[in-house]
Amino acid sequence: MIDGGADAMPAKVQAARLARRSDDGHPGVPTPRRWLAIAAISFGNALLVVDGAIANVALPTLSRELGVTASVATNVIVIYQLVLVMGLLPMSSLGTRIGLRRVYQAGQVLFCLSSAACFFVETMPQLLVLRAVQGLGAAMGLSVSVALLRAIYPSKTLGAGLGFNSVVITSSLAIAPTIGGFILAHYAWQWIFVMAAPLAVLSLIVGRALPTGGRRDGSGDIVGSVWIALTMAMLIGGVQLASHSIMAVGIGVVACGVISLVMLVRRERRRSDPVVPVDLIATPVIGLSMLAALAAFLGTGMIIVSLPFRLEQAMGFTPDQVGLLLMPIPLTLMIVNPVSGWLSDRVAATKLGVSGLIVSIIGLTLLGTMPADAGAFAVSWRLVIYAAGFGFFISPNSRLIVGNVPIDRTASIGGTMQTVRMFGQAGAASIVGVLLALGLGEGGFPALLSAGMLSLAAIFSLIRFKSYKRRIAAG
């Protein structure tokens, strides 16, 4: 049994609780249409992940070919992530209005056209404009992908479906650097961005099998959508400024973003259909699961960003060796995630997730205390322990969140989950930047700090479970 499903909720979301109960037996999309729908969303998610990761490999080439500095070249990544985060919640709200499939496929079309147009780019401004359009297309797709997965899979196999989707994402992350290196070695750099277009075409071809979803009455909350987009721009943009040595300005922008977010939450709490699902986040099972996910993404982001610096600059591995040494993370997740997803349909989320976090914390602690003269094998088996534990946390935690909201609110909570993930990644990169500036980023300290963040995720999970038990005892 998945814990948290029977949490008592505030009066303002009693209707949502009744709706959730009616969704417990959701049958999903019938086969064989289900397999086509799974293929469509798999192709779509793969192209978004590959395009987001593959650009990192091309930064030195872009700097050289377009005649810009390395810091300017990083804007290719920054603008994509910024537009993506800004658009997630507004696009998820739009999906509930006009249909999940419609928003998802419109995002695929926009992404495909902007990717193809990258073939004709000759200047950095042109590339940045197209990357912004790609980010908007990615936001449209990712904002409703969780809701589509909820609609595709029957309730009894939702965890397995989320696990399989994690395999698609992690395998795409694993192959992206290899594909990028091959393209740069044999073709013009523009193909780095164009190569994702065929996946979008394949997703569109089979995309008619996707469930429609959404289509509520009403014009939506335009003010709320613009407000949350600008708030995310301030939060993420401020973090980026702070990480680029513009510390005072960055902190000021983040502070403005926090104030804006507090004001927005107060506004959204008075609305029956908020853009930011504050009524759902206010319930312990969802709110604490979100906090656990944020802490976990901060922790795993720090280790992924900091480890290359430690391996290359402190331990003497070459860049190509570093790439190979990082492979155990996605490869382990490819194996663990489907198992974790399958188990999350059968085992309480807290038991599975906290056990996984403990394993991951052990792996990170071993990594943090690893001697500077450790060999490749010593690094690899520690990363396997870390990744295996993390895999047993993320699928059950996601399953718990998605399974405890009304099916017609899944797009909203899915957009929030993606926003939490992106904010965690951006925050992790900034923390590592500060640690590097302080001379603490090339040793074992980032791994130990990551272990601390995962410990915090475990604490949030345990508090969630205790809250659930108290409510059950109270009747």
Residue-wise pLDDT for 75-89, tens only, equals 787 788 788 888 888
Mean pLDDT over each residue of the chain, to the nearest integer = 79
- Rounded to two decimals, what is the model's pTM? 0.75
Q: State which fold the 29-211 domain adopts.
A: Growth Hormone; Chain: A; (1.20.1250)
pLDDT of residue 245: 61
Residue 199 has pLDDT above 80, yes or no: no
Residue 239 has pLDDT above 80, yes or no: no
Per CATH, the number for 277-475 is 1.20.1250.20
pLDDT of residue 12: 42
How far apart, in whole angstroms, are the C-alpha atoms of residue 10 and residue 154? 28
Among 18-22, 106-110, 144-148, 353-357, name the one with the lowest average pLDDT: 18-22
pLDDT of residue 320: 66
Where residue 232 falls among pLDDT bands split at 50, 70, 90?
A: confident
How far apart, in whole angstroms, are the C-alpha atoms of residue 54 and residue 274? 35
Q: What is the identity of the amino acid at 213?
A: G
Residue 362 has pLDDT above 90, yes or no: yes
pLDDT of residue 10: 41
Residue 50 has pLDDT above 50, yes or no: yes
Q: What is the identity of the amino acid at 466?
A: K
Q: What are the tens digits of pLDDT across the range 102-128?
A: 888 899 899 889 988 988 988 889 999
Closest CA to 452 of 272, 343, 296, 317: 296
Q: What are the tens digits of pLDDT across the range 20-41?
A: 443 456 667 777 888 888 888 8
Among 240-244, 292-296, 307-311, name the one with the lowest average pLDDT: 240-244
Mean pLDDT along residues 225-252: 77
Closest CA to 41 of 117, 113, 87, 103: 103
Q: pLDDT above 90 covers what percent of the chain?
A: 12
pLDDT of residue 470: 64
Residue 385 has pLDDT above 90, yes or no: yes
Mean pLDDT along residues 364-380: 89
Where residue 235 falls among pLDDT bands split at 50, 70, 90?
A: confident
Distances from the Cα of 310 to the Cαs of 384, 441, 463, in angstroms?
18, 7, 34
pLDDT of residue 215: 57
Among 20-24, 125-129, 184-188, 439-443, name the one with the lowest average pLDDT: 20-24
Residue 218 has pLDDT above 60, yes or no: no
C-beta separation of 424 from 456 below 8 A:
no
Q: Which region holds residue 262: left if phi is over 0, alpha if psi is between -120 and 50, else beta?
A: alpha
C-beta separation of 298 from 22 below 8 A:
no
C-beta separation of 118 from 193 below 8 A:
yes
Stronger pLDDT, 162 or 333, i.e. the higher one: 333
Closest CA to 405 of 268, 282, 222, 266: 282
Mean pLDDT along residues 437-459: 87
Stronger pLDDT, 246 or 298, i.e. the higher one: 298
Closest CA to 192 of 54, 346, 2, 391: 54
pLDDT of residue 93: 81
Residue 49 has pLDDT above 80, yes or no: no
Same fold, 29-211 and 277-475: yes
pLDDT of residue 457: 93
C-beta separation of 239 from 254 below 8 A:
yes
Q: Residue ranges per domain, the chain?
A: 29-211, 221-272, 277-475
How far apart, in whole angstroms, are the C-alpha atoms of residue 347 and residue 362? 22
Placement of tokens 């419109």 in the chain: 106
Q: Which region holds residue 439: left if phi is over 0, alpha if psi is between -120 and 50, else beta?
A: left
Among 158-172, 189-203, 321-335, 434-448, name the one with the lowest average pLDDT: 158-172
Stronger pLDDT, 463 or 23, i.e. the higher one: 463
Residue 361 has pLDDT above 90, yes or no: yes
Mean pLDDT along residues 81-104: 84
Residue 292 has pLDDT above 70, yes or no: yes
Residue 438 has pLDDT above 80, yes or no: no
Q: What is the identity of the amino acid at 292?
A: A
Mean pLDDT along residues 248-253: 82
Residue 248 has pLDDT above 50, yes or no: yes
Range picked from 50-64, 329-343, 361-375, 436-450 for highest mean pLDDT: 361-375
Mean pLDDT along residues 214-218: 57
Mean pLDDT along residues 6-26: 42
How far apart, in whole angstroms, are the C-alpha atoms of residue 82 and residue 442? 27
Residue 456 has pLDDT above 50, yes or no: yes
C-beta separation of 100 from 152 below 8 A:
no
pLDDT of residue 472: 57
Mean pLDDT along residues 71-78: 73
pLDDT of residue 23: 45
Stronger pLDDT, 173 or 359, i.e. the higher one: 359
| Cβ atoms < 10 Å from Cβ of 458 | 22
* CA geometry: angle 173, 179, 183, nearest 5 deg: 145
Residue 43 has pLDDT above 90, yes or no: no
